[in-house]
Amino acid sequence: MGYWLAKGLLFSALTLLSGRLFWVELSRRLAEVRKAKGPLPGDLAERRWLRVVREVLFQTRIIRHRPLPGLAHALLFWAFLAFGLETVDHLSHIWLPRGFLPAAGLFHDLFQGFVALFAWAAAVGILYLAFRRFVLRPMELGSKLSGSSALVAGFILTLMLTYLAKHYGWVADGSAAAEANWVLHTVVLLAFLALIPRSKHLHLVLGPVAVYFRNEQPGELKPLDFEKEEMGVTRLADLEQNNALAVFACVECGRCLEHCPAALTGKALDPKELVLRMRAGFLDNPEQSALPEQLQVDWLWQCTTCGACAEQCPTGNDQPLSILEFRRGLTSEGEFPDTLRTLFDNLERSGNPWRHAARDGVAFIESSGIPIHDGSQRVLYWMGCMARYDEAYRKVALDFVTVLKAAGVDFGVLRDEKCTGDAARRAGNEFLFQQLAMENAEKLNAANPDLIVSTCPHCVKTLGEYRGLAEEMRLKDLPILHHTQFIRQLIEQGRLKLNPAARQELEGRLVYHDPCYLSRYQDDNAVDAPREVLRAAGSQLSEAERHGRRSFCCGAGGAQLFLEENTGTRVNHARTEELLRTGAQGVCVACPFCSTMLRDGLTDKGHPEMPVLDVAQVVARALKPVK
């Protein structure tokens, strides 16, 4: 009786202590989240709950992007859920000798058999993950061995083995060995609870919440209100609450690093380390300037905002958003690379990044017979700066116009559109972006088409952002489509008759390069549409090693087209080499930036003769009659 009472008092005290240690550290982190800009997003509740079920309960994202380690992690997570009731029953033995669950019977046998199955699965999973982390040691996990990871791996394996020892009777019920087994299981369980908020394993608690509140698109900036003197993020406390929440939910898996084009080509940027330094900064003093104490400024100007890191993250981190927020803060204080000054000056003075005269674009439109939108046409073709001014890309615009006319589309273009402000916004110049947006939105609202279609995914993305601006510069809620999606619609409606046998210029296979701003900033429809269109046009397609939502960047996004890339391998060279390895005879693109970067990459790599064609050009060739 004395031992039972002493045991009850001791483990009651240890349980309270463990719970206290857990709550103190968790509260400290939640307090930092609450200091960030709020509130947490409350829209799209049904979509958010479905995402939690899909990505948390069924672990779809973590398995899809890294199948074997993902499955091992999923086994651990499912075991964690399976052990919930068993853990409560186990701790109840502190005061209830037989616990509160039935000690025998059908329910007992079924439930304990279910838990034992997951105990075996978790033991195998943790052994594989430990082997991977401490023996295989892949680059994305980091070169420094983690003591807390080793401790947690030991904790999990011990918990599984001590449970299995009890379940299978490896220790006789009522024996000293059984008592020691119970004590060991309980001590490890309480130690694990206290450790959780002090390690990356806090994702067990915050991960599902961060996934629920995750941004619908990576880099989803909210407009600054200059009347309220909002100038961007200069302190960690200026970040949005859902971004701060995701920082504390980081699992340190390195998936972001594994797919970052800057990191993989020898740049200093490390998206995983960025999140870890932000977390350290929050716990240090978020009210202080976030730069340069916690972060390296040069990292912020190497990001292509491709969204690969956010696409991979299982806990909702959005590094592109953090980087763009910091860029806005830096640019508002006049701290940005010198090469961006030319970009900003050109956009201010001429409305395009290269200071072309607007009359040159109008002259091209008129000489090419492209109709001007007069307010009566249903479709407005938003050309973008490259289609209006770049000699090489004008060919794409003309072929797309050919496709529209062949389908009988009633369309027109604006005579005097300006740059959407994509590069200005990604470079942190929010004020210039809003100026351009206000002018463009006014013209688009006056034109009042039923649909806007563009050959540039950056324009599609940025025009969509006009809808979230202040009322005086907001774009009407008009559908905005990428041209590959629109062409697919025309084919499905039977309005576009293709003759694949007519496409004689390209023999052999094409490799399609997914633009980041199409494959990751839009839905899966934007990944499938170009491929379906190309197949309808008679193309034989190869796939690069990284394609679809895992596509590798061309290196131009995030205003990188206007910055100097002077460290490591050029991103477009790395992507070009990957495309060449497919053995395809031509490259197909769906973005003017990608077209330029890959054409340059092929020339630099000794293949200037390899064609780089837009999807619209392939379709236009399939319209030619067979002789």
For residue 480, list its beta bridge partners: 452
62-66, 68-72, 584-588: the lowest-pLDDT one:
62-66
Residues 171-174: contacts with CB under 8 Å, at least 24 apart: none
Q: What is the overall mean pLDDT for the chain?
A: 93
pLDDT digits (tens, 9 = 90+) for 297-340: 889 999 999 999 999 999 999 999 999 999 999 999 999 999 99
pLDDT of residue 103: 77
Please tell us whether the domain made up of 2-35+66-198 is placed in CATH 1.10.1740: no
SS3 per-residue string spanning 374-418: CCCCCEEEECHHHHHHCHHHHHHHHHHHHHHHHCCCCEEECCCCC
pLDDT in tens, 430-456: 999 999 999 999 999 999 999 999 999
Neighbours of 446 (CB within 10 A): 10
Taking 50 as the threshold, does the pLDDT of residue 124 lie above it? yes
Our CA angle for 395, 555, 546, nearest 5°, is: 95
Q: Is the pLDDT of residue 266 over 70?
A: yes
Max Cα distance, the chain (Å)? 101
- Answer for the pair 442, 474: CB distance below 8 angstroms, yes or no: no
320: exposed, middle or buried (Cβ count in 10 Å: 0-12, 13-18, 19+): buried
Fold classification of 226-332 (topology level): Fumarate Reductase Iron-sulfur Protein; Chain B, domain 2 (1.10.1060)
- Split at pLDDT 50, 70, 90, the class of 507 is low
What is the pLDDT at residue 288?
64
Question: Going edge to edge, which strands form the sheet with 540-542?
Answer: 540-542, 509-512, 586-589, 612-614
Q: Are 588 and 511 in contact (CB under 8 A)?
A: yes
The model's confidence at residue 27, banded by pLDDT at 50, 70 and 90, is very high
Question: Could you tell me the residue ranges of all domains in the chain?
Answer: 2-35+66-198, 226-332, 343-621
* Residues comprising the chain, all counted: 627
What is the residue whose two structure tokens read 């947490």?
40
Angle between helices 271-284 and 2-35 (to 10 degrees): 100
Give the separation between CA 390 and CA 296, rounded to whole angstroms.
35
CA distance 602 to 573: 8
Which residues, other chains included, contact 103 with Cβ-Cβ below 8 Å and sequence gap of 6+? none
3-state secondary structure of 37: strand
What is the predicted pLDDT for the residue at 383? 98
DSSP state of 589: E
pLDDT at 93: 81
**pLDDT attached to residue 224:** 94
Q: pLDDT band for 565, please (50, 70, 90 cuts).
A: very high
Question: CA-to-CA distance for 513 and 587, rounded, in angstroms?
Answer: 7
Cβ contacts of residue 171 below 8 Å, gap of 6+? 165, 177, 178, 180, 181
What mean pLDDT is predicted for residues 496-521?
Answer: 82
Question: How many Å apart are CA 528 and CA 592, to the nearest integer?
Answer: 19
pLDDT on residue 344: 98
For residue 293, pLDDT over 70 is answered with: no
Beta-strand pair 451-454/480-482: parallel
- Record the pTM: 0.93
Greater confidence (620 vs 497) lies with: 620
**Lowest-pLDDT range, 286-290, 386-390, 410-414, 424-428?**
286-290
pLDDT of 476 > 80? The answer is: yes
Interval 377-408: pLDDT, tens: 999 999 999 999 999 999 999 999 999 999 99
* pLDDT band at residue 292 under the 50/70/90 scheme: very low
H-run or E-run covering 481:
strand 480-482
Lowest mean pLDDT among 219-228, 349-358, 499-508: 499-508
Cβ neighbours of residue 611 under 8 Å, at least 6 residues apart?
505, 506, 586, 587
Q: How many CA atoms lie within 13 A of 614 on its CB side?
A: 30
**Residue with tokens 């916004």, as numbered in its chain:** 425
Q: Contact at 8 Å (CB) between 424 and 436?
A: yes
Would you state the pLDDT for residue 148?
86
Does residue 477 contact residue 467 with C-beta atoms inside 8 Å? Answer: yes
Q: DSSP 3-state assignment of 223?
A: coil
Write the pLDDT tens digit of every residue in 70-116: 999 999 999 999 999 999 988 888 887 777 778 778 888 899 999 99
> For residue 460, is pLDDT > 60?
yes
DSSP 3-state of 509 = strand
Give pLDDT, residue 469: 93
- In percent, how much of the chain has pLDDT > 90? 81
List 382's β-bridge partners, or say none.
454
Confidence check: pLDDT of 145 > 80:
no
What are the tokens at 31? Answer: 């307090």
> What pLDDT, in 10s, does the model give residues 185-211?
999 999 999 999 999 999 999 999 999
Check residue 512 and report its DSSP letter: E
Coil vs helix vs strand at 612: strand
Q: Are 438 and 223 in contact (CB under 8 A)?
A: no
DSSP-derived secondary structure letter, 289:
B
